Amino acid sequence: MTGVALFVAAWAAAVQLSGTRLVPGPLAVVRALGELLSHGLLLRYLVASLFRVTWGFLLAAVVAIPAGIALGLSRRGEAALNPLMQVLRPISPLAWIPLAILWFGVGDRAAIWLIFIASFFSLLVTVIRAVHDVDPVHRNAALNFGLDRRRLLRDVVLPAILPQLVIGLRLTLGVAWLVVVAAEMIAVNSGVGFLIIDARNAGNRYDLVVAGMVMIGAVGLLLDTLVRRLERLPSVAWGFSA
């Protein structure tokens, strides 16, 4: 909190000393947030953005985690699909915007698709790498004790990859939050990203623009904090011990 207070103080001083009218000061941004709150837009835009992030991120997790485990356990399957994955993975999610609008129109489904694409490949690679890092001694010991493939997955692989999986989820959620803001500037007419672009176009309301940026940062911090709580679970915490 000390760092935040110092940053706000430096921001206010810089605006005051420079006399600029282009960059709003902290008080102007607080008033803009109050304006959004009084008009019922603050909660509405946050809920819209979180709705899209939640669905896109969860859909990516539901598909990427099982797929990553399957490919991590199958060297042949990974070798077959890896070239396609490496071709699609570097493509920016924003490059999919024209196709997303063409397929789904302007609305939630287009934004959810973009978040899914942004989250899927990042999480898929993380899971594959985590499965590869499972100690072969543990897998061989489980097989020697007669564990079938299902029990090997449940009792050995899943517990072993949980710490890396939580890290992957944390990083991927951050990417998803970045992408939804960019997608909302183009593919939808609500949400925090839409607020920023709309405020700029509606008479250069830069106090609302910076208010939107503050909302993005605050929600990003909250999401990261929530995911980091998973690191305290006993089934995960062992992976972060010294």
Q: What is the pLDDT of residue 57?
A: 93
Cα–Cα distance between 100 and 169 in angstroms, integer? Answer: 24
pLDDT of 242 above 50: no
Structure tokens at 226: 């929530």
Q: Kindly state the tokens that stand for 229.
A: 């709580």
Rounded to whole angstroms, the Cα distance separating 24 from 20 reads 8
The CA distance from 125 to 120, in Å, is 9
Residue 93 clears pLDDT 50, i.e. is over it: yes
The residue extents of the domains of the chain are 44-235
Which CATH number is 44-235's, of 2.40.50.140, 1.10.3720.10, 1.20.1530.20, 3.40.190.10?
Answer: 1.10.3720.10
- Amino acid identity of residue 214, one-letter, is V
Looking at every residue in the chain, the average pLDDT score rounds to 84
CB-CB contact of 188 with 105 (8 Å): no
Asked if residue 195 has pLDDT above 60, the reply is: yes
Collapsed DSSP state (helix, strand, coil) of residue 101: helix
Q: What is the pLDDT of residue 120?
A: 93
In tens, the pLDDT along 140-157 reads 676 666 666 777 777 777
- Tell me how far apart the alpha carbons of residues 123 and 72 are, in angstroms, rounded to a whole number: 13
Contact criterion met (CB below 8 Å) for 170 and 98: no
Side-chain half-sphere CA neighbours of 66 within 13 A: 5
| The residue type at 7 | F
Distance spanning both ends of the chain, measured CA to CA: 27
Is the per-residue pLDDT at 129 higher than 60?
yes
Percent of the chain with pLDDT over 70: 92
pLDDT at residue 153 in the model: 75
